[in-house]
Amino acid sequence: MAKLALVRASANNLLLRVFLQDSSSALGAGKTGLTSASSGLKITAIRELAATTTNYTVAGSTIESITTLGTYAAPTATKIRFKEVDSANFPGLYEIHLAQALVDASDASRFLHGIIFGATDLAPCPFELQLQSASAESLTTDVAAVKGDTAAVKTQTDKLTFTVANQIDANVIDWKSATAPAMTGDAFARLGAAGAGLTALGDTRIANLDATISSRTKPADTQAAVTTVTNLTNAPTAGDFTATMKTSLNASTPGVSAAGVQAIWDALTSALTTSGSIGKWILDKLDVVLSTRLATSGYTTPPTVGAIADQVWEEPLGDHTGVAGSTALALNAAGSAGDPWGTALPGAYGAGTAGKILGTNLNATISSRAIAGDAMALTSGERTTLAASIWNALTSGLTTVGSIGKLLVDNINATISSRLASGTAAADLTAIKAKTDNLPAAPAAVGDIPTAAAIATHVWDANVASMVTGGTIGFLINFYLDASVSSRMAGALDGQGEQISYTAPPSAVAIADAILKRDFSAVSGEAARSMLNALRFSRNKWAIVGGVLTVYKENDSTVAWTAPVTTTAGDPVSGVDPA
């Protein structure tokens, strides 16, 4: 942030130079090429105690150029001056001439806050000017006067002579309680017999020694005059707050003035750490400029699972039969295979194949197995083993949210003996209750304290243009919340019902499951040599009549495709009609 110490009411100090960054540069390069006519350029300023901002815009023709860089020229009334310094040798450096009215204020503002923003690819640049008070200007004048007087005194003391080192040659009137010889010489002549000559030295400040030092107040007297402030540490006796306590309460309760509201928006984000607070929530969520997120207009809805499945099943097999090991090649080969239901299992199928697994493991009827949920009798030894397994389970493995194991691991995190015994704090609680019982249910003199609703109204009605202090929650809202929420892409909801992201497309597993579970009867428009027609031979009704193989659609009556069949004498298969 650019800073400049500024003396109020001094035209020579209203020239400011700031470095402006290019927001499109990943390296933070300086922004070049801006002029007093650059589209969208805005410069806003406000004193810390002012209620409204002063705004200069290109659109409003209130930003004008600078004729001579480095030489302050007062802007035209209601305007400000702006110009680039050297784009080649110092890219990003700009000079600003502020209007005198911005700093010549009757209030006690200590700072002038400002920001430069709005032009294309211009990163917002806040600046802060420290305003020097009128009393500080007066002090500077007084110091200069003292320096002049000191020089005059030195001129006179330089005239003193020292015949003996460290001893001034002079005549004195009194000498060791006895009358000294009459004084002569230059010093006596200048000072005079009664010191009247001091005035002739030109030092008029002797007239300021018009009282004795003992008549002035000592530090101890000042301290004794300060009374002890009665506050809430002096508890009331009954019924109501004391008058002193009411005054203290009202004085310490923040109001909802413009300065109070501004203080809320200028709160540093680094201090917003309370979990669950609106400040912490905004800080966590508003972590980037909203316009950098994907706009609704730029989002293309992905195809549905059904559309993807239809496209996969209707893809012509002939386009993919050259890829070794592909599903298309396998399905194409399956179209000319024999009847799979007539093959003995496990037969010659190797380990790990479906034929081997089915033939080996389906060695009993399903009805001979227990139904899910049937009671199972455990022996005494089995129960002992089960109990030991439960109680010997490692706590590091108990990670399932909602389980009794996870609940015990999370909550039993200390020994019971380390916790506070019952009744230990009873005396302390009784003492606290005795004090709070004296507090009134509704204090009589707090009606002027604003309600929570009033404070909230002032906060949310605050002008965002004044929220320009970097690192504050107000700054984040002013410069990061630069688009409406409805213009951003809607997303899924998290466990608290908050939008977290756009709807993700289905995973590869979900797509595969949808393809494998797809009802053939729901697919239409397939090609003759599609994967769907190839699979129909494995699942639907087919027949061989007169040397022609006919494969039917899912209703077992509509022909899907036909093909001539060459048979071998004695081949018993003439048709298949699965249920």
Distance CA 255, CA 459 (A): 11
Is residue 422 exposed (0-12), middle (13-18) or buried (19+ Cβ within 10 Å)?
exposed
490 vs 117: CA distance, rounded Å: 29
What type of residue sits at position 308? I
Supply the pLDDT for residue 1. 57
CA distance 505 to 510: 10
CA distance 551 to 531: 14
Rounded distance between C-alpha atoms, residue 271 and residue 134, angstroms = 34
Q: Is the distance from CB of 503 to CB of 540 less than 8 angstroms?
A: no
What's the burial of 171, exposed, middle or buried (CB within 10 Å: 0-12/13-18/19+)? middle
pLDDT by residue (tens digit) across 222-254?
444 434 434 444 455 555 566 676 666 566 555
Predicted pLDDT at 229: 39
Residues of the chain by 3-state class (helix, strand, coil), percent to 5: 35, 15, 50
Contact 138, 27 (CB under 8 A): no
Residue 216, pLDDT > 60, answer yes
| Segment 120-178, tens digit of pLDDT | 999 999 998 888 765 555 556 667 777 777 888 888 777 777 777 767 766 555 555 55
Higher pLDDT among residues 317 and 44, named by residue: 44
Largest CA distance in the chain: 164
pLDDT tens digit string along 419-443? Answer: 766 666 667 778 788 877 776 666 5
Lowest mean pLDDT among 203-217, 223-237, 486-500: 223-237
* Mean pLDDT value across residues 329-339: 69
The kind and range of the H/E element at 482 are: none
* pLDDT at position 240: 57
**Angstrom distances, CA of residue 501 to CA of 279, 407, 491:** 22, 30, 4
Segment among 126-135, 336-345, 403-412, 413-422 with least mean pLDDT:
336-345
Report whether 65 contacts 36 (CB < 8 A).
Answer: yes
269 CB neighbour count, 10 Å cutoff: 18
**Closest among 28, 231, 6, 205 to 98, alpha carbons compared:** 6
Note if the pTM is more than 0.85: no
Question: Which strands, in side-by-side order, build the sheet including 575-576?
Answer: 559-564, 548-552, 542-545, 575-576
Q: So what's the pLDDT on residue 19?
A: 94
Beta-carbon contacts of 564 under 8 Å, excluding residues fewer than 6 positions away, are 547, 548, 549
Q: b/e per residue, 317-353, with b = 16+ CB within 10 A?
A: beeebeeeeeebeebbeebeeeeeeeeeebeebeeee
Please name the residue ranges forming H helices in 437-558.
452-460, 473-480, 508-517, 531-539
Residue 117, phi then psi, degrees to nearest 5: -160, 180
56-103 pLDDT per residue, tens: 999 999 999 999 999 999 999 999 999 999 999 999 999 999 988 887
Dihedral sign of CA atoms 183, 189, 195, 196 in order: positive
How high is the pLDDT of residue 178? 56
The proportion of the chain whose per-residue pLDDT surpasses 90, expressed as a percent, equals: 17
- Give residue-wise pLDDT tens across range 360-371: 888 888 777 767
To which residue do tokens 């008029």 refer?
204
Q: Quick one: pLDDT at residue 361?
A: 82
User: Which tokens hold the place of 461?
Assistant: 């009605």
Rounded alpha-carbon distances, angstroms, from residue 251 to 49, 231, 299, 503, 527: 19, 11, 55, 53, 85
Query: Do residues 96 and 17 touch, judged by C-beta distance below 8 A?
Result: yes
- The domains located in the chain, with CATH, are 2-132 (2.60.40), 137-209 (no CATH)
Which residues, 6+ apart, have CB-to-CB distance to 145 below 8 Å? none
CA 114 to chain centre: 22
Q: Which amino acid is at 571?
A: D
Who wins on pLDDT, 577 or 456? 456
8 A C-beta contact, residue 235 and residue 435: yes
DSSP three-state, residue 415: coil
Q: Which of 291, 217, 212 is nearest to 482 (CA)?
A: 291
Please write down the HEC assignment for all residues of 329-380.
HHHHHHCCCCCHHHCCCCCCCCCCCHHHHHHHHCCCCHHHCCCCCCCCCCCH
112, 47 Cβ separation under 8 angstroms = yes
Q: Which two tokens stand for residue 360?
A: 């080996």
- Spatial distance between the Cα atoms of 411 and 398, rounded to a whole number of angstroms: 13
